[in-house]
Amino acid sequence: MARSRDHWAYTLTHKPTGLYYIGGTTNVVKFINKTRKKLERGIHPLTEFQDVFKGWHEFNVSLTHCGSDFNMVREITNMLEHHTSLENPAIENPLCLNPTMPKVDTLNLSEADGLLGLYRRTPCVYRLTHVPTGRFYIGSTTNLRSRINRHRREVQTKDHHNERLEELTDNLNDFEIRIEVCDTEESARELEQKHLDEHHGAELCLNMGDSAIVAYKNTPDHIRKAISERRKGVATTPKGVPRTAEDKLKISIATRLAMEGQPGPNAGKHLSDVTKAKLSAARSKRLSIDGRIFLNVKEAAAYRGINTKTVKRRCDNTMDQIFKDWFYLPL
Predicted confidence (pLDDT) per residue in 220-255, tens digit: 555 455 545 555 554 455 545 566 767 666 666 666
Instruction: Give 255-267 pLDDT, tens digit per residue.
Output: 655 655 565 555 5
Please list, in sequence order, all residues whose beta carbon lies within 8 angstroms of the beta carbon of residue 3, skipping any fewer than 6 positions away: none
Phi and psi angles of residue 178, each rounded to the nearest 5 degrees, phi first: -105, 125
Percent pLDDT > 70 in the chain is: 68
Q: CA angle, corner 318, sides to 317 and 322, nearest 5?
A: 75
Question: What distance in Å separates the CA atoms of residue 314 and residue 317, rounded to the nearest whole number?
Answer: 5
State how far the Cα of 239 lies from the Cα of 274, in Å rounded to an integer. Answer: 32
Q: Rounded to an integer, what is the distance from CA 142 to the centroid of its chain?
A: 12
Q: What value does the mean pLDDT of the chain take?
A: 76
How many other C-beta atoms lie within 10 A of the C-beta of residue 143? 17
- Alpha carbon separation from 70 to 7, 9, 26, 77 (Å, rounded): 9, 11, 12, 11
pLDDT band at residue 218, thresholds of 50, 70 and 90? very low
CB burial of residue 320 (10 Å; 0-12, 13-18, 19+): middle
Top pLDDT among 245 and 54 is at 54
Q: What is the pLDDT of residue 128?
A: 93
Q: Which residues pair with 143 in a beta bridge?
A: 120
Query: What digits encode the pLDDT tens for the residues 153-173?
Result: 888 888 787 888 888 888 888
Enter the pTM of the model.
Answer: 0.44
Strands 175-181 and 104-108: antiparallel
Give pLDDT, residue 136. 94
pLDDT tens digits, one per residue of 285-308 = 788 888 888 888 888 888 877 778
Encode pLDDT of 64-77 as tens digits: 998 876 677 778 77
Tell me which of 2-16, 102-116, 301-315 is least confident: 102-116
pLDDT bracket for residue 86 (50, 70, 90): very low
pLDDT at residue 307 in the model: 79
Q: Which domains does the chain have, with CATH numbers?
A: 8-100 (3.40.1440.10), 101-216 (3.40.1440.10), 219-267 (no CATH), 274-328 (no CATH)
Among the residue ranges 5-14, 84-93, 116-125, 223-232, the one predicted with the least confidence is: 84-93
Instruction: Measure the N-to-C terminal CA separation of the chain; round to a whole number of Å.
Output: 67
Identify the pLDDT of residue 213. Answer: 67
